[in-house]
Chains A and B, each alone.
Chain A
């Protein structure tokens, strides 16, 4: 049984592993921190948030100050999907943002009885209905580039 946990991550309850929903990359023990299976890049925030007013003339420009703020980008090592972007002070340990009780997760879904990949959606409303089954299943017959393009 596979449970979609975020836009790009699922937990396979049979193997108890964090899995990339896009390409099936294995990020590690589902009882642990999925970030340990990622590639990380320390991004200068000025590259993402460009200045609107001239940084040569002014200290405050719409761009974050890299001495205060860094953006850690977490990538899937296989498909290169950016699964998380964390804003942190320079040198601050990355946040362990999610730790799940796998036994409880299994119990809850077994009690529910449905297939999580069919049941889970984005919430109420017609336009929030979505197919959260693993993309690598439906994309297995397609090329890698198409598979990672998104839906």
Chain B
């Protein structure tokens, strides 16, 4: 774990999607509410949670791929959330996004060489030959043959395409990467290849990374810090070993124990949560987890629990912790 200074400080990030109805009303999807955390240089922070938890929304808001409706994203001293779109371009080079679906995120009509050098061309970096040289070296670093440059994405398998997606993100030499479910569309035997590659590249370049994943063992392997989201709010955050080893919020052990293990004889000692995740259009009052919480009390309906320190760098938003 490299403990650099703070690179990104997110405070009160809020993303409420929706439109006003014709007569004033309208429905608002409370995707993310009042989320705050910091990321140090060289740190890998994982966002975990189920669908509707807001993890992808947080990731996209951080790169201003969508405009947050509230809060700040202070990147190296500048609030990106407040910048006009045109002023974002120099920042774009420093932050890149790796998408989940390597089938949908690579243009089928462009060669791999064109895809890899597009970002460099937009940023006005180098001559055409210099850009192709960089593209060739980017292929080396993701362990793909250089003859891929003249070929098209459909000629490659899912795992190879994800390598291309990673090469495209890294060619601009960013300092910060958001990797959104980078292996979940891949076959099990291929996932480990890509996870190892991400780890190697992160260490080689000292990348700061936000990993969005529902796969808790991938998170355990890659992340320094984990943030557990539920219905758009942070339930618990802290160092991976603390959150996994001594979870403080009642949602965390339920989430951890829901993942079945292949260990022989590890027949589960699991907490099965009842019911479904409520709709973010109409989240429960007070603590959003209370409708499924095994230890909820009447007070949980009244107050949004403030987060409290429960250990070094370890915080939990539960009235009981």
The answer to whether A and B come from one shared complex is no
Chain A contact residues, CB within 8 Å of chain B: none
